[in-house]
Structure formats: C-alpha cells, structure tokens
Amino acid sequence: MKKAKVFTMGILAAAVVLSLAGCSGKKSATTDTGSKDSGKTTTKTVALITDTGGVDDRSFNQSAWEGLEAWGKKHDFSKGNKGFNYFQSKSESDYVSNINSAKAAGFKTIFGIGYKLQPAIKQSAEKNPKLNFVIIDDSIEGLDNVVSATFKDNEASYLAGIAAAYTTKTNIVGFVGGAKSDVIDRFDAGYAEGVKAGAKELGKSVKVINQYAGDFSAPDKGKSIAQGMYQQGADIIFHASGATGNGVFQEAKAINQAGSKKVWVIGVDRDQSDEGKYTTKAGKSANFTLTSTLKGVNKVTEDLSEKAFKGEFKGGQHVIYGLKDDGVGLAKGQLSAKTQKAVDQAKQDIIDGKIKVSEHPAK
C-alpha cells in the first residue's frame, strides 16, 4: 500500500511537470505575437543588453532604453520579441547568456550598453556575422557587423566643472565615480580641469574632493560618500556612477529638506532634474540638481535602430560623439545667467579647439 502511494505521488509529480512544460509550449506560440499593447510587429527587431545597473538606473542604461522606446513609439512597435526589448544582467557572466537568448528569440540588432559588455559583444559578433551589433562606451575593431560608439564625456564634464566653480560658495566641490576605469577617467579628468579653469577665471581656488564607490549599482555607498563630502564642506557633488548616484541624490535631498544649508548635485548621462525636486521647509518646491552632463546614448540607440530598420546599418565603424555634434552636452538645469554664459563660452572654445580636455586625470 505504501509503495502504491509513493507510485501515485510520483505519477502526480511527473504529470504536473509535464503539463507545465506542455501547456507552456502551446501558450508561448500564441502569446508571442499577441502582446498587450497591440503594436505593429517587425522583423528588424532590436534588443538591448544592459549591464548590471538595469534600465531604471536613472542614468546611462535608462537613457539607452528611452532612445529605443522612442524609436519603437515612432513606428508603433511594441515591447517584446517582435519589436524591441531589453535584457537585464544579474552578473557579468549573464552578458553572453543574454545575448544568446536575444539571438534565440530572433533579435536582429543587439546593443551592448556599457564598456563591460565589450568582450561579450565581440565574442558574439564574431560568431554571428549576420546580426548587427553595437557596443557603447568602448570600441571593437576589425569586425564589419559592429558599430562602436564612444563619447567625449570629458568635454561635457569640463563644462560641469565650470558650472561647479561658478556656483560653489564654500569653494569645495566633490566628485563621485563608479569604478575606476577608462570611461570614468574622462569624467574625472574633465571635471577637475573645468573646475580649475573656472576658478582661475574667478580668481579663486576651488578644491575638488574625489572618491570612488567601486560600484555602479550601490546607492547605499553613494549616500555615505555624499554624506562625508557634504560634511567636509563641499556644496556641489558631480557623480559619474550610474545607479550609485541615486544615493548622492538621496543625501542631498535630506540635507536640503532639513533646510540648514543648500547643497547641489550635478547629474550624469541624462537630465536628472527630476531627481532633484524637493520641498523646502517653507513649503515651496525647489530643485537641487544644478545641471547634468548629457550623453546622447538615447540618440545613438534611436539612430542606429532606425538605420538597421532601413537596412542602412553599416558596421565596422567607430563613431565618436563630442560637443561639436551635440553627442554630449550640459543640461540647462538651475544655472545662473552668469554661469550659463561661462559654460557657453567654454563650450565654444572646446568646439573651436582652443581648449583641449584630457581623458585621464593627472596623477
């Protein structure tokens, strides 16, 4: 009797598992095509492989996703396997797996968002010469199905440095980096040079406090670093740290809401003025996002998706976006007229080649 029971249970378990698998096979075939928001479908599908930050990091990845969404909206494509979609990675080993599943789902153009995906994109591009690949923030040479897109973040950060030098009252400003790397070096170097140049024009000296979180997705670390910097007297912090920067915003919000002093944050990669909204003690609404460096990741994803859609995707090239072609820039934010003027002047000087901004900070 006991054995019979075990047997029936085994059968039961097997039946459950089988029915799970069976149903799903049928289901997926039908639901793939019919998505919730009845958009059109396309064969020129686009997939976005994010780094571990994810598409809601309020900066880099989100900007890339917004560009793709804009492209999808333009053509009325829907999110999913017949339009466009993103694949979030939990760890670095997921990049290749995610690219594989994007490939298996039939995506034709695959974006690698961030320098961390460079090896994975390179490897997959070699194996799949018929698919289009894009790597952002890094370059892959010698493969004619890959477009590399990098940005002169140092130029935008230089402008942020000018803005910080003109705005600071304590003459101490901060910089929070994600992880030390070639990309973040550009932000670090540009900002330091901008602050220095701005301070020189005003005839004062401004100190830059520099700290790295060692992580792009650790808001808790961002918050405690910001806390330390504001305590040391900094009144402006520029963060180039992805989702870690959300912690910087949290800390600034807490200080500003308490109302004892006014501190600022300079956002990164996309206009982060939404993150800086707060209500003062007097009940008025205000904003502490001084400005944000802009990085045209959204433009690149939108533009290259469109090119792929039209069949004009041309691999094998490395496109560098700078101030000149509006690939990077500085948001209007809360800059005073005087500061804005100085920023505009510096921008013109960079475009004219009068100012050269370093890519690596001086040691």
| Binding residues vs another protein (CB under 8 A) | 2, 5-6, 9, 13, 16, 20-21, 23-25, 27-28, 31, 35, 54, 79-81, 85, 87-88, 90-94, 96-98, 100-102, 104-105, 115-116, 119, 127, 178-182, 185, 214-218
Smallest gap from residue 56 Cβ to another protein (A): 9
150 close to 318: Cβ distance less than 8 angstroms: yes
Q: How far is the CB of 218 from another protein (least distance, A)?
A: 8
* Closest distance of CB 287 from another protein, Å: 29
Q: Which residue has the tokens 């100012």?
A: 355
Q: Which is closer to another protein, CB of 47 or CB of 266?
A: 47
Minimal CA–CA distance to 299: which of 270, 273, 330, 275?
Answer: 270
Minimum CB distance to another protein smaller for 5 or for 354: 5
* C-beta neighbour count of 181 within 10 angstroms: 16
Q: Which of 200, 210, 207, 222 is nearest to 170 (CA)?
A: 207
**Which residue from 122, 111, 145 is spatially nearest to 313, judged by alpha carbons?**
145
Minimum distance, C-beta of residue 179 to another protein, in the bound complex (Å): 5
- Pick 45 or 298: Cβ nearer another protein: 45
Nearest distance from C-beta of residue 301 to another protein, angstroms: 18
In which residue are the tokens 């800059």 written?
Answer: 335
**Quick one: 2 or 310, whose CB is closer to another protein?**
2
Q: Least separation, in Å, of the C-beta of 338 and another protein?
A: 37
Half-sphere exposure of 69 (CA within 13 A, CB side): 8
Closer CB to another protein, residue 152 or residue 253? 152
Gap between the Cα atoms of 118 and 125, Å rounded = 10
Q: 11 or 280: whose CB is closer to another protein? A: 11
Residue 321 near residue 300, CB atoms below 8 Å: yes
Residue number with CB closer to another protein (89 or 256): 89
CB of 363 to another protein, least distance (A): 11
Q: Which is nearer to another protein, 96 or 286 (CB)?
A: 96
Amino acid at position 45, single letter: T
The residue length of the chain stands at 363
Q: How many CA atoms are closer than 13 Å to the CA of 334, on its beta-carbon side?
A: 20
**Contacts with 149 (C-beta within 8 Å, 6 or more apart), sequence order:** 134, 135, 136, 137, 300, 304, 318, 319, 320, 321
Q: What are phi and psi of 277, to 5 degrees?
A: -70, 135
Rounded to a whole number of angstroms, the minimum distance from the CB of residue 30 to another protein is 10
